Amino acid sequence: MASGIEVYGTDWCGLTFGVREYLTSSRLPYDYHNIEQDPRADEFVLAMNDGRRRFPMVVVEHRIVTNPTRAELQQLLDDHRLSHVRSRPPSIKAAKL
């Protein structure tokens, strides 16, 4: 886990896409694990959800949330002091003399 945030899901899942889009637009790096292409990721999701495939599943440090709302996802990020990367303020152009 290089980024500190892991997302488990599938490419066809709209909810997984929404979580990934939120993290990307927030400029937060994350590792994505497609459970249909990665057997170890699939096994991990099953193990963490009592044998059920529930996704998207987001892991930050040792905390796991499944199918989080935007507010739940942001609370998880806030709890671990992961926040949006704010863009740099617009530059002020030098005044012409």
Paired with 86 in beta bridges are: none
- Tokens representing 11 are 């490419």
Say what the pLDDT of residue 17 is.
96
Say what the pLDDT of residue 19 is.
96
Read off the pLDDT of residues 48-79 as tens digits, 9 standing for 90 and up.
Answer: 999 999 999 999 988 999 999 999 999 999 88
C-beta of residue 8 within 8 angstroms of C-beta of residue 39: no
Structural domains in the chain, CATH included, are 5-79 (3.40.30.10)
C-alpha span between 67 and 61 (Å, rounded): 17
35: left (phi over 0), alpha (psi -120 to 50) or beta: alpha
C-alpha span between 83 and 8 (Å, rounded): 20
Say what the pLDDT of residue 83 is.
60
